[in-house]
Chain A
Amino acid sequence: MNCKGVIREISDYIDGELDLLAKQELERHLEDCEDCKMVVDQTRLTVEIFCDSKPVELPTDVKSRLHDALRRKLHEKSN
């Protein structure tokens, strides 16, 4: 597998969705290619950082409008 092949498969590799043969080929390439190893590591970290990011608390005014609308709807449905 060459560098272009690694880039094409990087997503499936990170997600553990590559078949065994392709995975072994890709990992053999990574042993000898510092650049591809860096791209794989940084792409994996990119995914992890976004995945781990916590949602910020809902702004009070947004929350208040949501719950007002919700209460109106719940009230309307129960009548």
Chain B
Amino acid sequence: MLYATFINAKARMQPPIVLLIPLSASNPHRLPSTVARDDEHLLVAAAKRGDTHAFEELVNRYEAKIFRLTMNITRNREDAEDAMQDAFLKSYAHLKNFQEDSRFYTWLVRIAANEALMRLRKRRPNQFSLDEPVEGDEDLMPRELEDWGPSPEQRFAQTEMHEILSEVIDKLEPDFRVVFVLRDVEELSTEETAKALGISIPAVKSRLLRARLKLRQKLDRYFRRGATN
């Protein structure tokens, strides 16, 4: 309690950096972003001083991305929501321990990925293990290649593309999916991905290669020239 009082007293000495514009009446949860994207460290510093509005701004900024991440890993809406919620609550509870040697977002992604993985392991205990070695090269060679024709991004409407991506990623084995999502969707580095998942760098690279090739193969059915959309 004393600790909380101290934080609040300290917070009062610092001007809050986001509550310059009143909350929207139509959406009371939404705090307007009054600052540019590269102000993340200012928001984190303010949140560490106890400015709850600054933390709420960080949540507003990243909630959709974190939900996409937890959804991509768990492929289960209930688990994804729980994982997202716990990730934000834990990041708030442990904010003081965040050393700022990486972006706050990267740190948050690691927490959210772990929350999502925990739920995935619970739901599919026999289907998911990052400890298992990946198979050999034999099955990697693509077969029946065909030109994809004009840019798929122009051929498909955004919602249709979302459905296609969701369907193909859903069919990817979880241990490949997790690595792909962290590396290619969240754009973590190989080292950050290895650290987040507690696996070696060669293991990340090996799974990423397979994930990419498998996804290419799955997308082929939608994107190949003459495919019925």
Interface residues of A (CB under 8 A from B): 3-4, 7-8, 10-12, 14, 35, 38-39, 42-43, 45-47, 49-58, 62-67, 69-70, 73-74, 77-79
Cβ contacts B182-214/A at 8 Å (1 or 0 each): 001101000000000000000001001100110
Known interface pairs A38-B145, A39-B145, A56-B64; 10 further A-B residue pairs with C-beta atoms within 8 A, sorted by A's residue number:
A4-B137, A7-B141, A38-B147, A43-B212, A46-B216, A62-B67, A63-B63, A66-B81, A67-B29, A74-B92
Complex: how many Å from CA A51 to CA B182?
10
Residue pair A58, B208 in contact (C-beta under 8 Å): no
The complex places the Cα of A70 from the Cα of B84 at a distance, in Å, of: 11
Q: Are A7 and B213 in contact (CB under 8 A)?
A: yes
Q: Mark B77-118, 1 if CB is under 8 A from A, else 0.
A: 000010011001100110000000000000000000000000
CB–CB A42/B216 < 8 A: yes
Q: Which residue of A lies closest to B5 (CB)?
A: A78
Quick check: A46 and B212 within 8 Å, CB to CB? yes
B216 touches A43 (CB 8 A): yes
Cα distance A58–B66 in the bound complex, in angstroms: 10
B37 beta carbon closer than 8 Å to chain A = no
B176: chain A residues within 8 A (beta carbon): none
B148 within 8 A of A: yes
With A63-B29, A66-B88 known as contacts, the answer to whether A39 contacts B216 (CB < 8 A) is yes
Question: Would A74 and B220 count as touching, CB distance under 8 A?
Answer: no
Query: For residue A35, which residues in chain B have a CB less than 8 angstroms away from its CB?
Result: 142, 145
Distance in angstroms between the alpha carbons of A48 and B172 in the assembled complex: 17
Tell me whether A50 and B215 are in contact in the complex, defined as CB-CB below 8 angstroms, given that A65-B81, A66-B84 are known contacts: yes
Q: B4 near A77 (CB under 8 angstroms)?
A: yes
Residues of B within 8 A of A46 (CB): 212, 215-216, 219
Considering only CB atoms, which chain A residue lies closest to B210 in the complex? Answer: A11
| Bound form: Cα–Cα A63–B147 in Å | 41
In the complex, the chain B residue whose C-beta lies closest to that of A53 is: B165
Q: Which residues on the A side are within 8 Å of B187 (C-beta)?
A: 51
> In the complex, what residue of chain B is closest to A79 when comparing beta carbons?
B4
Which residues of chain A are within 8 angstroms of B8 by Cβ–Cβ distance? 78
6 pairs, CB–CB < 8 Å, chain A vs chain B: A42-B216, A47-B184, A50-B180, A53-B161, A66-B88, A74-B92
Q: Which of B45-77 contact A (CB under 8 A)?
A: 50, 52, 55-56, 59, 63-65, 67-68
* Bound Cα distance A58, B93 (Å): 23
CA distance A52 to B151 in the complex (A): 14
CA distance in complex: A14, B180 (Å):
14
B220's partner among A14, A42, A77 (CB-CB below 8 A) is A42
Smallest Cβ distance from A50 to chain B, in angstroms? 5
Question: Chain B contacts of A45 at CB under 8 A?
Answer: 148, 152
